[in-house]
Amino acid sequence: MAGAAGDDERTALHDALDGYLAHLTVERGLAANTLGAYRRDLTRYVDFLVAQGRTRPEDVTERDVEDFVLAVRTGADDRARLVASSSARAVVAIRGWHRFLVLEGVTERDAAQDVRPPAQPKRLPKAISVDDVTRLLEAAGLGDGPVPLRDRALLELLYSTGARISEAVGLDVDDLDRTPGQGAVRLFGKGSKERVVPVGSYALDALDAYLVRGRPALAGAGRGTPAVFLNTRGARLSRQSAWAVLRTAAERSGIATADHVSPHTLRHSFATHLLAGGADIRVVQELLGHASVTTTQIYTAVTADSLREVYLTSHPRAK
């Protein structure tokens, strides 16, 4: 529809864009890559507006902005279609420019104020199979000394309770109830919301081994802390270090999805495996600490996909 305008086709919109890009460069000091992205998105936007007969910033309407967002999502301006994340980036650039035009007194109204980026597609959580979880947990405990005991206990607890890594490393010894058959842990989630979650026997055994034989050795290097999980200096294990424990265990385990293991992998697997085993979604919601069951419902899609895969590969007349 529209290519870049030549010098003889320059408009007040082009001049206004040059002023904004200069502002981003000098006043805000944006990185070169970020500035380049703004320039590409806004140049495409101006070309689109000019093709619609708009030549001055004050000519632009909210409908023009909405039409541009639709055009970049569909390729209707004869350019490459943008995925949701890229078009969302373009909307951010456009909103910033129109806000600047108002602040500078170039226009009286902000044409992009009420235009929102396109909704991002929901990404299903990535869970791993029960067999892969077992291999991951076993890999974490390989070796001698207190660190393998700690790593195995940490990952066992994450999978047994569905805790976030930040919740696990935030645990103090007093937050654990290691009573056989009644094991539980007190977790503090987002907004310091407290919940008590049962702990399975495998995790309890791993915690006992660590607390009896591993933690005292690590604590000797520190100044005393109530934290359950300690680093080699005797201080509380950081979230980044706990993530490194998970990543290392994934690499050692040899599971096919090792490259895709993330800090939430065991939490996602915990929820998915519970639902696949018949757990009520509201129970899973409480265990995960979700404020709304709507957040938990994303796992039902994962479970449905798993059931469908099993059906297609197992039923003699499924295909």
Q: Is the pLDDT of residue 3 over 50?
A: no
d(CA 73, CA 86): 9
Rounded to 5 degrees, φ, ψ at 80 are: -65, 140
> Position of tokens 């869970």?
127
Q: Is the pLDDT of residue 290 over 60?
A: yes
Q: Is the pLDDT of residue 284 over 50?
A: yes
d(CA 212, CA 216): 7
> Position of tokens 């129970």?
283
Task: Check residue 121 and give its pLDDT.
Answer: 62
- Of the ranges 64-78, 116-130, 131-145, 288-302, which one carries the lowest mean pLDDT score? 116-130
172 bridge partner residues: 227
239-256 pLDDT tens trace: 999 999 999 999 999 998
Pairing of β 184-188 and β 176-177: antiparallel
CB contact set of 70 (below 8 Å; sequence gap of 6+)? 76
Ramachandran class of 78: left when φ > 0, alpha when ψ lies in -120 to 50, beta otherwise? left
**Using N-to-C axis directions, what is the helix angle for 298-314 and 265-276, rounded to 10°?**
60
CB contact set of 71 (below 8 Å; sequence gap of 6+)? 48, 77
Burial class from Cβ neighbours inside 10 Å (0-12, 13-18, 19+) for residue 212 reads: exposed
Task: Take residue 273 and report the two structure tokens written for it.
Answer: 């495996």
Rounded to 5 degrees, φ, ψ at 227 are: -60, 140
Higher pLDDT, 120 or 80: 80
Task: Check residue 5 and give its pLDDT.
Answer: 43
Quick one: average pLDDT of 209-238?
A: 95
DSSP string, 127-179: ---HHHHHHHHHHHT-SSSHHHHHHHHHHHHHHHH---HHHHHT-BGGGEE--
Quick one: average pLDDT of 297-313?
A: 70
- Return the percentage of the chain with pLDDT > 90, whole number: 63
Domains of the chain: 7-103 (1.10.150), 131-260 (1.10.443.10)
Q: What is the pTM of this model?
A: 0.60
Task: Check residue 105 and give its pLDDT.
Answer: 95
- Of the ranges 103-107, 117-121, 135-139, 190-194, which one carries the lowest mean pLDDT score? 117-121
> Position of tokens 């495998």?
202
| Residue 17 CA: distances (Å) to CA of 20, 47, 119, 191, 316 | 5, 11, 27, 42, 64
Separation of CA 78 from chain center: 33
Give which of 197, 207, 202 is closest to 167, Cα–Cα: 197
- Of the ranges 19-33, 65-79, 149-163, 245-259, which one carries the lowest mean pLDDT score? 19-33
Q: Is the pLDDT of residue 4 over 70?
A: no
Q: Which are the catalytic amino acids?
A: 164, 190, 264, 267, 290, 299
Task: Check residue 196 and give its pLDDT.
Answer: 94
